[in-house]
Every structure is written in structure tokens, then in C-alpha cells.
Amino acid sequence: MGDMLKYEDCGLKNIWLANGFSREEVEGLGPCLEIGDIDGLHRTIGHHLVDHKRRLTSAEIRFLRVEMGMSQKRLADCLGVDEQSAALWERGKRQPTVAAERMLRLMYL
């Protein structure tokens, strides 16, 4: 396999890209990364997260919320919890109930 890229700009620490990106030398800036289909990449990451059978991490919850274009308050309202609960999930201080996590997955899909 060729050159792999650890892609952390999405807020997740375990995403590696094997293709779909290039490094370009930009005058005045130096080497810059270009990803061919960033929206498609994020959709693929999101679908992988919601299809995976383990509990979501705090960073994954935040990734899904941001990808849906929701504030913490909006997500909390949709899931029937208070905004502080959603904030605590994203900081890893509390885990959502299994039902709330399932609903989050369905909302993303």
C-alpha cells in the first residue's frame, strides 16, 4: 500500500486515508493537503460510525452532530434530554442511554 494519511481534521483520531487525497506545494504556504471529495469522505465516516455495533465515543457523537448541522441544544431537544447532557456526552463525562444513542444513529441516517 502507498502513502497513508492520518486524517484528524474531522475531530476523530483513528481515521486513515489510503487514497482520495494529494499533497500540493502552494507558493507562500508550502505543502497543502487536498481531499478530492470531503463531503463523501465525511458521509462514509458517519455511515461507518452508525453501522458499527459498539458504543459511540464522545468524539464520534460530536462528529455525527456536527455532520448533521445541529447545535448541542437542537440535538438534545430531538433526543429528549437537556443541553448539558449532550455537552457531557461530547466531553466524555457521561454516556447517552442506549435508546438515545440508537436515536442519534437513526437521525444521522
* Whole-number Å distance between alpha carbons of 6 and 26: 21
Query: How far apart, in Å, do the first and last CA atoms of the chain sit?
Result: 31
* Whole-number Å distance between alpha carbons of 88 and 25: 41
Segment among 7-11, 81-85, 100-104, 105-109 with least mean pLDDT: 7-11
Beta partners for residue 77, in sequence order: none
Contact by Cβ (8 Å): 59, 13: yes
Q: pLDDT tens digits for 29-55?
A: 888 888 989 999 999 999 999 998 899
* Whole-number Å distance between alpha carbons of 32 and 47: 27
Query: How sure is the predictor about 2, in pLDDT bands with cuts at 50, 70 and 90?
Result: low
Query: How sure is the predictor about 96, in pLDDT bands with cuts at 50, 70 and 90?
Result: very high
| Number of alpha carbons in the 13 Å side-chain half-sphere of residue 83 | 5
Residue 53's pLDDT is 87
